[in-house]
Amino acid sequence: MLTLPVRTSACAESPGLSILPMPTSPPTHLATLALVALGGALGALLRVCVGLALPTLGAMPTGTLAANLIGCLLLGIVAAKVASISRPPAWLQQGVGVGLLGSFTSTSTFASEAFFLGTQASPLLNAGYVAASLFGGLALAGLGARLASASPARPSGGEP
């Protein structure tokens, strides 16, 4: 069984389940943020390229689907590599995992965490996490759309 004892964020000290651990030493925060930013810029560009390269099939966003599935595969690979190295390099865990793949896809982290949660916790907890993520995300997206359409439109070029 693969276990990943890690921190949930670069600034938090609480333990939690996350695929990619953050360094906890304050001097490394700036370098970590730079790696995430660089990886994020590259991942976003790659996502646009995948979207442009693949045609949509009716209403199916094939570019997004492809990016999400590829990202899930790649983050699984990165997470396994990070877990197998006693002191994984920051460029791998943060630059590639969080930055590049985090901006390339939003579902890669969710899928990997759901997989590892399913192997390390109860099936009921895993099912709750998956259901809350999927249905909660759909509900909040709908709420956001309703809130946006309910707010009065602002004239373009005017003050915010």
Binding-site members are 102, 105
Which residues fall within 8 angstroms of residue 62, CB to CB, at 6 or more apart?
54, 55, 56
CB atoms < 10 A from the CB of 51, how many? 15
Helices (H), the chain: 29-53, 62-84, 90, 101-104, 107-120, 123-150
Residues belonging to the binding site for Na(+) are: 102, 105
| Integer Cα distance of 67 and 33 in angstroms | 23
